[in-house]
C-alpha cells in the first residue's frame, strides 16, 4: 500500500511530485532499515510478543482465541486491586462526575479537586509533605533529575536501576556515578569521589523487579548521612505491600525519616490503572510543578484513573489485611518451590524468580507451563545477565492457596520433564 502510493507519486513527475518522490525514496530506505533491524531482533531471539487477554486483569484469565481458566502469575497486580469491585465503582463514579479527561495540562485548566485530593492522600500515605502526579512513574523518573540537579551536583545510581531512572539521569546535567548493584563498598567509594560536588543524590530502586531483591536502604541511608547525601527511591515494586502497613521499602527497613524522595506508580499494586508520582519535601514538589517537563507538557491524569488509585489507597489505609494475605501467599510459594528443589532469587518479595540459568530451558518451560494453564514468563539475556535466565513468578493477594499449589505442581512436573529437577 505504502509502496504503491510512492510509485504513483513518482510517476506523476511534477515539481511537487519530484519532492514527494525524494521523500518516498527516504521512506523506502527507512522501511528496509527497519525490516533489517526487526530481523536482527528476531535472529537474536529477543523478540517480545504480546499475548492478548480477553478478560479483566486478575488471578484467572481468558486469553483471546480460546484459552480460558489460565492462572496468571505475571502481572504486577500484587494486591489484586486491578479488578476490585470498589476500585471499579470508584472509577465509574469519577468518570460520571468529572468526565473522560481534562483536555489540558495541569497548569492551564487541567487540575480538578480529585487531583488535589489524591496528591494529599499520597503524601499522607507516605508520611511526606506533598506529592505531585504524573501520567506514569516513567514520567516521574524522567522529570525529577533534570529539575533538581545541575552541573554542580552529582547523582549516584545503582547499576541495575530501572530503565526510566537511567533515562531520567541521562537527561540531567549532573555528574554521574554508577555503583555496583547493592554494593555498599563501591557506593562509599563513589560518595567519597563525589564530595567535590555541591549536592549528592543516591538513586536506587527500592525493590528490583528482575531479582525480587530489596535495596539495603539502612546501609544506604547510613552512608548518605556520613557523606552528606540525599536518598531517592523508586518504589514501583514496593508501594502498597512492603512494610507492616504497605508503605514500602523505607517502612520495611525502618528508614522512613531518612529517605528524602520517593517516586512510585499507580499502575501496579495501587489499582493497576496508570499514573505515577513524586512525594517528598514541599519545596521540591513546588519546584517540580514549575520545572518538570513531563508534568508541564503532558495531559492531566484522567478522572477514572484518579478514582481507581484514590480508592486503592483508601482500602490500604483502612486495613493491612490485603498486604498481609499477599505476604502469606508469597511465603507459601517460596517455601514449597524451595522444598521441591528450585532456587528462588530474592527474599520475602512477591517477585519470585525461578532461577534456571539456560535461556532455552526458561523459554521452553514457560511455554509448557502455559500448556498446563499457568501463565508465567521466561526472561533471558539481554533483559537479565547471560547464564542467569529465569522464569519470573509474581504472587498476588488474590491467588488462592490452591492456585499457588497448582503452580508449584506444574513447575515440578515441567522441571522434571526438561531436566531442571532430578
CA 47 from chain centre, in angstroms, equals: 20
Q: Tell whether residue 234 is a contact of ligand PLP (CB under 6 A).
A: yes
Beta-bridge partner residues of 377: 392
Active site residue 49: no
Per CB under 6 A, the list member of 20, 162, 388, 399 interacting with ligand PLP is 162
CA separation for the pair 417, 412 (Å, rounded): 9
Residue 209 known to be catalytic: yes
Per the residue annotation, which of 157, 209, 292, 380 is the catalytic one? 209
Four-CA torsion 261, 266, 267, 272, nearest 10 degrees: 150
Dist. CA 17–CA 30, nearest whole Å: 19
- Whether 237 is catalytic is yes
Burial 389-398 (b: 16+ CB within 10 A, else e): bbbbbbbbbb
Provide the mask over 246-275, with x wherever binding to ligand PLP is found by CB under 6 A and - wherever it is not: -------------------x-x--------
- Tell me if 80 contacts ligand PLP by CB under 6 A: no
Residues 165-204: x/- map of binding to ligand PLP (CB under 6 A)? Answer: ----------------------------------------
Measured CA to CA, the distance from residue 137 to residue 234 in angstroms comes to 9
From candidates 168, 276, 303, 353, binder to ligand PLP by CB under 6 A: 276
Nearer to ligand PLP, 9 or 115 (CB): 115
The answer to whether residues 378 and 414 touch, using CB atoms and an 8 Å cutoff, is no
Could you say which of 84, 162, 197, 237 is catalytic? 237
* Residue keyed to cell 484469565: 61
Rounded CA gap, 64 and 50, in Å? 11
Q: Taking CB under 6 A as the rule, does residue 205 contact ligand PLP?
A: yes
Question: Min. distance of Cβ 139 from ligand PLP in angstroms?
Answer: 7
| Distance in angstroms between the alpha carbons of the first and the last residue of the chain | 55
Question: CB of residue 327 vs ligand PLP: minimum separation in angstroms?
Answer: 20
Rule CB under 6 A: which residues touch ligand PLP? 136-138, 141, 162, 164, 205, 209, 234, 236-237, 265, 267, 276
The catalytic residue positions are: 209, 237, 268
Amino acid at each position: 500500500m505504502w509502496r504503491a502510493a510512492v510509485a504513483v507519486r513518482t510517476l506523476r513527475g511534477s515539481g511537487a511530485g519530484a519532492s514527494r518522490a525524494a521523500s518516498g525514496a527516504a521512506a523506502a530506505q527507512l522501511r528496509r532499515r527497519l525490516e533489517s533491524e526487526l530481523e536482527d531482533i528476531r535472529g537474536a531471539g529477543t523478540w517480545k510478543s504480546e499475548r492478548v487477554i480477553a478478560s479483566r486483569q486478575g488471578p484467572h484469565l481468558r486469553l483471546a482465541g480460546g484459552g480460558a481458566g489460565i492462572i496468571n502469575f505475571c502481572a504486577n497486580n500484587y494486591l489484586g486491586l486491578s479488578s476490585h469491585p470498589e476500585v471499579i465503582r470508584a472509577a465509574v463514579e469519577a468518570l460520571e462526575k468529572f468526565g473522560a479527561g481534562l483536555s489540558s495540562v495541569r497548569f492551564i485548566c487541567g487540575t480538578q479537586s480529585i487531583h488535589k485530593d489524591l496528591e494529599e492522600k499520597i503524601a499522607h500515605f507516605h508520611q511526606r509533605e506533598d506529592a505531585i502526579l504524573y501520567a506514569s512513574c516513567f514520567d516521574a523518573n524522567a522529570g525529577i533529575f533534570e529539575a533538581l540537579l545541575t552541573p554542580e551536583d552529582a547523582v549516584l545510581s545503582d547499576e541495575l536501576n530501572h530503565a526510566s531512572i537511567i533515562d531520567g539521569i541521562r537527561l540531567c546535567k549532573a555528574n554521574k556515578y554508577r555503583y555496583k548493584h547493592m554494593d555498599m563498598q563501591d557506593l562509599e567509594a563513589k560518595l567519597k569521589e563525589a564530595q567535590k560536588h555541591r549536592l549528592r543524590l543516591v538513586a536506587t530502586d527500592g525493590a528490583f523487579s528482575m531479582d525480587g531483591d530489596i535495596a539495603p536502604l539502612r546501609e544506604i541511608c547510613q552512608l548518605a548521612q556520613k557523606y552528606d547525601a540525599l536518598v531517592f527511591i523508586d518504589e514501583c515494586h514496593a508501594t502498597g505491600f512492603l512494610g507492616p502497613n504497605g508503605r514500602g521499602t523505607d517502612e520495611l527497613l525502618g528508614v522512613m525519616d531518612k529517605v528524602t524522595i520517593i517516586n512510585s506508580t499507580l499502575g501496579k499494586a495501587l489499582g493497576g490503572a496508570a499514573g505515577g508520582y513524586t512525594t517528598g519535601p514541599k519545596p521540591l514538589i513546588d519546584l517540580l510543578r514549575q520545572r518538570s517537563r513531563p508534568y508541564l507538557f503532558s495531559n492531566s491524569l484522567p478522572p477514572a484513573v484518579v478514582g481507581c488509585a484514590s480508592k486503592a489507597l483508601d482500602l490500604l489505609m483502612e486495613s493491612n489485611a490485603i498486604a498481609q494475605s499477599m505476604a502469606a501467599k508469597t511465603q507459601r510459594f517460596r517455601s514449597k518451590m524451595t522444598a521441591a528443589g528450585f532456587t528462588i532469587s530474592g527474599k520475602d518479595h512477591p517477585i519470585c524468580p525461578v532461577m534456571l540459568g539456560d535461556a532455552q530451558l526458561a523459554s521452553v518451560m514457560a511455554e509448557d507451563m502455559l500448556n498446563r494453564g499457568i501463565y508465567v514468563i521466561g526472561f533471558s539475556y539481554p533483559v537479565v545477565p547471560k547464564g542467569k535466565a529465569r522464569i519470573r513468578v509474581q504472587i498476588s493477594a488474590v491467588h488462592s492457596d490452591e492456585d499457588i499449589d497448582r503452580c508449584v505442581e506444574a513447575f515440578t512436573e515441567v522441571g522434571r520433564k526438561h531436566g531442571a529437577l532430578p
